[in-house]
Every structure is written in C-alpha cells, then in structure tokens.
Structure 1
Amino acid sequence: MNELVLEAKNLKKTFHDADLSVDVLTNVDLKVGKGEQIAIVGSSGSGKSTLLHLLGGLDDPSAGEVLAGGKSLFDMNAAKRGIWRNKTLGFVYQFHHLLPEFTALENVAMPLLIRGLSVADAQEQAADMLDRVGLKQRLKHKPGELSGGERQRAAVARALVTKPQCLLADEPTGNLDQHTAQHVYETMLALNTEIQTSLVIVTHDIHLAQKMDRSFTLNNGQLEAIDTMVNDK
C-alpha cells in the first residue's frame, strides 16, 4: 500500500446506558492509503457513522487508536486535534450543514478563513472549487436559494476546498434523488482523482461501493472486506 493517511488499530466503541452496555465496534482495523477510495456499507445502526467519527477524531474510542502520520489522534488535546482536522480532513454529511445566513461562496471560504487565509484569497479558492462542482453561477446564492443537489455540491466544495488528505463522507447523498446523487458522487470521485484526496464513504448505495478501490461491510462490530464485488470504475 502507498503512503498511509489514516490507520485504525483495534478500535473498540462501547456505549453505556444505565446497566446496559452495547459493543458497537470491536477490534476494527483499517488502513487508508493516499488517494484511495474506500466504501463502508452496512445496515442502519451497525456502527458505520461511529467508525467515521472515530477516524475523524470527533469521538474517543473505548479502546484502540487512530494514527495520522504515525501519531495517535487521541494523544492530542482537543485544540490540537481541531487544528489537525482543519489541515487534514474534510467532512460531508447526509445533511449539508451550510450556514443559512451566508452565501455559497462564504460557506465554502470559511474553512480557509479559519486556517488564516485572507478574505480575498479564501474567496478566490472557494470560487474555483464551486466552479469545479458546477456552481459557478451560484456563488452569491444562500442555501435557501439552492436546490438539494446544489446544496450538497456546495458542501462537497467546502469539504474539499482545503485540499484535505482525506474526505470522510457519511451518507452524503442520502436525501437526494438517484440522478442528483449520481452527479454528486461523480463530482467527489473526479476531485479525488484530481487532487489525490483519499475518500472514506459510508453508504447504503451498493453501486457506489462497486466504484471504490476497496469495500467493506460492518457486521456485529467487525469490518469485513467485500471480495465478491467487481469494481466498475
């Protein structure tokens, strides 16, 4: 495998509720190489989103570790982990999470402003990324003035504008019709190829999973490689 971007080792996550303990993840191992495309499929409640949150350092595991550049995320304090996320990762969710009071351009520029770029430089790069996802004519539109597909493409642009090492996407087209979902997926895959951003996508879409370099199913807290798929890239 080429250069590793993320590596999960023996991840375990147990949720406690009163006297009840539920093991959601048990000894999960996963290596994500630079520019690699990985799909994780599984039923609702199987722990797919939990795994994604752990890979992004958004939640702490009950045991195990996630390594980035050979260093454990969970040895970092919250502030350092936040800086690492801004420099290294992009996130896309089923709901776009765009800020309604800002335009598409302002929403996409925000991660760059947090990074410390000037407003002019941040908006220039944001406009370029919005152009790449087909929203050149929507820069000044607020989320409420965009269609569902346009809002999700803007969310993809925001996630990728920093050119992160890895994009973590949690059912990114779950609220879209099949045609629009296909367009959003094609955009993500094209940008993955162009800027060599790794993709880890949680999805119910078996057709998308077949387009990935590797696919896994999450059953009973364990990741299992799907070897029977024929990739159609």
Structure 2
Amino acid sequence: MNDVVISCRNLTKQFSQGDLAVPVLKGVNLDLIKGEMLAIVGSSGSGKSTLLHVLGGLDAPSSGDIRILGQNIAQISEEQRCRLRNGSLGFIYQFHHLLPEFSALENVAMPLLIRRLPNQEAYDRAADMLKLVGLSHRLTHTPGELSGGERQRAAVARALVTQPACILADEPTGNLDRKTAEHVFDLMLELNHKINASLIVVTHDTRLANRAQRIQQLIDGVLCDISDAS
C-alpha cells in the first residue's frame, strides 16, 4: 500500500487527572491515501485535536501504531521524528501561530530554514508560495499588519511551503467569518490539488466538511464513517 500516507492501528490516548486515567482515544484505525481529503467531525471535547496531534507525532499515543510514509514513528529517534514531521507534514491551526516579530516572508520561510536550506532558496520558495495565496504584496508585513484572513492565508502558505505529503488542519477556519472562512478553505483545496498532498481537516463546520472526499466522526473515542455513526 504505497499510496498510504498516514495510517494507525488500535490507537489509544489517555490523560491522567489525579488518580484517574481519562481515556480520549479508544482504538482508532485510519488509512489516509495520497491526495485524499478527509474531514473529521465530532462534538466539542471528543478528542479531535488530540487525534490530530498524535497522528502528527506532536504527542505520543498511549498505545497503538502510527506510520507516516511507511515509517513507524515509535521506532525512530526523536531527531528522526522531527525530520519526518518537517519534511512530510504541514500543520494549520485555528489560530495562525505566526511569529509576531517576523514578516510574512520570514514566517513562511521558517520551515525551510529549519531544514537548513540556503537562505535565498528558502526565501524564494516562500515568496512563490505567498504569491500563490495572494499575498505577494504583503511579503514584508508582520502579522500585526495583516487582516485575520491574510494571517490565515500566510499560515496556509507556511504549511505548504515544504510541499508536504500530508496537511493536518485543526479548525483552520474556526476563527474567521463565514465569507473569509470559505475563501481560505477554497484556497486550501486548490493548493491541495496542485501539490497532490493528503489533507485531514478537523472542523465543526458541516458545510466545509461536506466538501471532503470522506467524512468520519469521532464518537466515544472511536473513528466511525458517518454512515455508521448512528
């Protein structure tokens, strides 16, 4: 199954509250195919963000296996996991998390600079990506000088600048008004098709979720197809 970008089997995650173990994920199974867009929906507090963080290697599961491009992330070093995340995954959050003291160009170039690309190449690629998201006129502006929609478009550019195999988006339009949210989502879909990256989107917005190729719902710690989630 060479087309599988991210897969997990029997994934569990629990947190401790005093002496209590609180289960959040209870045996999640998932295969995400190259180029596929999957929307994950669920009630507030159902563990959607936790699932995304665990799939992206930002948090460790309590048990189960996760593979990114065939690599079991539990069987590689932390340094190798960081390289795998930086090279293969892009992250978009509800809040843009741009560094306020840096320009849009510098923020978008950051993942490439962390990868130790030559500065000029990193900035050239960042400028090209900002042009794709319609921000070529805002390269030198800091986040405080951008509108909410522009900040989120810059965050999309930063997630895609490494040409990742998969984009993990956690409520990427949740902090935007409806019109701007639809514009940003359109942009994500367009760029997703251009680079043939897989896309997992956690969202409360059913209108946006319905534009995905596949929708799954997290119910009681288990990921279900919508048709099974009755």
**Fold-level similarity (TM above 0.5):** yes
Query: Residue in 2 aligned with 1:218?
Result: 218
In structure 2, give the amino acid aligned to 1:221.
G
Query: Residue in 1 aligned with 2:155?
Result: 155
Distance 2:61 2:114 in 1: 27
Q: How does 1:138-217 map to 2 (within 5 A)?
A: 138-217=138-217
In structure 1, give the amino acid aligned to 2:52.
L
**Structure 1 residue matching 2:11: 3-state secondary structure:** strand
Query: Residue in 1 aligned with 2:130?
Result: 130
* Native 8 Å contact 1:38 1:201 kept in 2: yes
Distance 1:61 1:100 in 2: 32
Q: How does 1:1-233 map to 2 (within 5 A)?
A: 3-227=3-227
Distance 1:68 1:52 in 2: 13
* Native 8 Å contact 1:13 1:26 kept in 2: yes
Distance 2:148 2:71 in 1: 38
**Structure 2 residue matching 1:227: 3-state secondary structure:** helix
Deviations 1:136-195 (A, max 9, x none): 111110000000000000000000000000000000111100000001000000011110
**Structure 1 residue matching 2:74: 3-state secondary structure:** helix
Distance 1:57 1:25 in 2: 15
Is the deviation greater in 219-228 or in 176-185? 219-228
TM-score, scaled relative to structure 2 = 0.97
* Native 8 Å contact 2:5 2:70 kept in 1: no
Unaligned runs of 5+ in 2: none
Distance 2:195 2:6 in 1: 17
* Native 8 Å contact 1:57 1:74 kept in 2: no
Dislocated runs of 4+, deviation >4 Å: none
Is the deviation greater in 146-155 or in 108-117? 108-117
Q: How many residue pairs get matched?
A: 228
* Native 8 Å contact 2:4 2:32 kept in 1: yes
CA drift of 1:69 comes to: 2.8
Distance 2:149 2:40 in 1: 22
Is the deviation greater in 133-142 or in 64-73? 64-73
Deviations 1:84-136 (A, max 9, x none): 10010000011101001110001001111111211111111111100111111
TM-score, scaled relative to structure 1 = 0.95
CA drift of 1:2 comes to: 7.0
Distance 1:46 1:77 in 2: 30
Unaligned runs of 5+ in 1: 229-233
**Structure 1 residue matching 2:201: 3-state secondary structure:** strand
CA drift of 1:70 comes to: 2.4
- Calculate the aligned-residue CA RMSD, in Å: 1.2
Distance 1:113 1:14 in 2: 35
